[in-house]
Chains A and B, each alone.
Chain A
Amino acid sequence: MEDACVLIVESNILVRQPLAEYLRECGYRVAEAANVTEARQLLREKKITVDIVLADAAADQEGCFALASWIRTALPGVEMIMAGTVAKMAGDAGELCEEGPAETTPYDHKQVLDRIKRAIAARDRQKR
Chain B
Amino acid sequence: MSGPGIHDGAAWRRFLWLFLRSRFMLPVCAGIVAVVGLITLWAWGTTPVIADGPNAIDRAIVQRNLITGITAVAASALALTLRSPWPEMDDAAGPTVRRIRFVAFLIATILIAGIMAALGTRWDTPGAGAMLARGFLGWLGIALIGRQVLGEGRGWWIGFAWAGLAIVAGDTWRIHYPPWAWSAQDATSVLAWVVAIMAFVGGMAILARSAMGLHDQ
Q: Do A and B come from one complex?
A: no
Which B positions have Cβ atoms within 8 angstroms of A?
Answer: none
